[in-house]
Amino acid sequence: MNLDSFPPARRRGMIVHITLIALLALLSTAAFISLSQAAVGPLFVAYLLAAIVTFVPLPLLVYRAYSLSRADYHLGRDSLSIRWGLRAEDIPLSDIEWVRPADDLTHPLGLPFPSLPGAVLGLRRHPDIGLVEFIASESQALLLVATSRRVFAISPLDAQGFVRTFARAVEMGSLTPTEAQSVYPTFIVARAWDSPLARYLWLTALFLNLGLLAWVGVLIPTMPQVMLDVNAGGAAQAVPSTQLILLPLASALLGVSGWLAGLSFYRWEKQRPLAFVVWISGTLSSLAFLIAVLFIISRPV
């Protein structure tokens, strides 16, 4: 580990996130399987709602687990760099007014909601120090880094080492003045949206997935059964048409995963071609699911 690298505590946060991901994935899979076997009616709607509720948080939890695994506070002679997923903050040391433990505050520092081990993220206003942005993994032993714009709450594993290194860097002085820079996930989305190709691919994939979901929703009540190759031998078998609902859901899962992966690549100029490759693949994947439904319903029962 470099002396100027102070990563946050990861172990407890990764355990919590991996456990939640595994539990929700298991519940979501069970709900999808039950959904595909249920007849159209109240039970079908209940399984559908259960599948959606357990599936929706999964991309966010996966992103937060990935962000935690790559998170770091890099303290150099010229600046403090914070990296947390798509969030990046570069603060010149000359802009930092003070660094102190959050326990030194007269009024307790409230946490943003929701906060989990490994993901204490968000904004809160404190009566004494104003707006505080949390970019931390744990709520204990928080360090506050104050600038003229706002205060950052961070959680380096070696908090005392961070404070000592900061004091030493200030005493030595800056060699090369740097500029403050803030990068938010929404900024990356907005920057990618300015690209006509990215905008076209996103909208095409979105409409393909929405159209697929609407089409399958119309087909299920009107077609009691469809023909699927459900065994290794390739022999087609009549199954309940409710199994078609798995296709738009799988397409949506791949689409969201690809969209997030593309944004991760888009941050860096040299990796932007990879972002477009991922987004093109996602659009083609959504189209493939649409064609698959067309072939399935065209087969006589």
Number of domains in the chain: 2
Q: Are 150 and 251 part of one and the same domain?
A: no
> For residues 287 and 55, what is the distance between their CA atoms, to the nearest angstrom?
22
Please give the share of the chain, as a percent, with pLDDT higher than 90.
38
Same domain, 273 and 289: yes
Q: Of 183, 215, 243, which residue is a domain's last? A: 183
Grade residue 299 by pLDDT with cuts at 50, 70 and 90.
confident
Q: Which amino acid is at 185?
A: P
Statement to judge: residues 271 and 201 lie in one domain: yes
- Residue 43 maps to a domain: no
Arithmetic mean of pLDDT, 206-231: 82
Distance separating alpha carbons of residues 163 and 101, to the nearest angstrom: 9
pLDDT tens digit string along 250-273?
A: 898 889 889 988 988 888 888 899
33 belongs to a structural domain: no
Note whether 243 and 152 are same-domain residues. Answer: no
Domain boundary among the residues 139, 168, 183 is at 183
Q: Is residue 221 part of a domain?
A: yes
Indicate if 100 and 147 belong to the same structural domain.
yes
199 plus 295 within the same structural domain: yes
Closest by CA to 293, choosing from 235, 208, 234, is 208
Judge whether 26 lies within some domain.
no
Q: Return the bridge partners of 82, or none.
A: 73, 89
Taking a C-beta distance cutoff of 8 angstroms, is the pair 78, 176 a contact? yes
Per-residue confidence (pLDDT) for residue 1, from 0 to 100: 39
Q: Residue 55 falls within a domain, yes or no?
A: no
Shared domain check, 160 and 142: yes
Residue 259 counted as domain residue: yes
| Spatial separation of the C-alpha atoms in residues 58 and 70, rounded to whole Å | 19
pLDDT in tens, 109-135: 889 988 899 999 999 998 888 899 999
Render pLDDT for 51-63 as a digit per residue (tens, 0 to 9).
889 988 988 899 8
Residue 13: the pLDDT is: 94
Q: Check pLDDT > 80 for residue 79.
A: yes
How would residue 233 be classed by pLDDT, with cut points 50, 70 and 90? Answer: low
User: Do 157 and 236 lie in a common domain?
Assistant: no
Q: What is the mean pLDDT of residues 7-35?
A: 92
Identify whether the C-beta of residue 141 lies closer than 8 Å to the C-beta of residue 8: no
Whether this prediction's pTM lies above 0.75 is answered by yes
Q: Give the count of beta carbons closer than 10 Å to the beta carbon of residue 200.
A: 12
Contacts 24+ apart (CB under 8 A), 82-87: 82/135, 82/152, 82/154, 84/121, 84/135, 85/185, 86/183, 86/184, 86/185, 86/188, 86/263, 86/264, 86/267, 87/135, 87/183, 87/184, 87/185
pLDDT for 205 equals 94
Last residue in a domain, options 125, 158, 183: 183
- Residue 111: CATH number of its domain: 2.30.29
Q: Give ∠ CA 102-103-107 in degrees, rounded to 5.
A: 85
3-state secondary structure of 54: helix
Per-residue CA distances from 35 to 203, 289, 290 (Å): 28, 19, 20
Is residue 167 domain-resident? yes
Same-domain status, 289 and 196: yes
Q: Does the structure show a pLDDT above 70 at 187?
A: yes
Is the bond leading into 248 cis (omega within 30 degrees of zero)? no
Question: Rounded mean pLDDT of the chain?
Answer: 87
Tell me, yes or no, whether 148 lies in a domain. Answer: yes
| 159 and 193 co-located in one domain | no
Indicate whether 211 and 101 sit together in one domain: no
The domain of 149 spans 72-183
Q: What is the pLDDT of residue 134?
A: 94
Predicted pLDDT at 301: 64
Burial status of residue 263 (CB atoms within 10 A of its CB: 0-12, 13-18, 19 or more): buried
Verify that 173 and 194 share a domain, yes or no.
no
Q: How far is CA 164 from CA 123, 150, 159, 160, in A?
A: 27, 22, 9, 6
| pLDDT value for 40 | 72
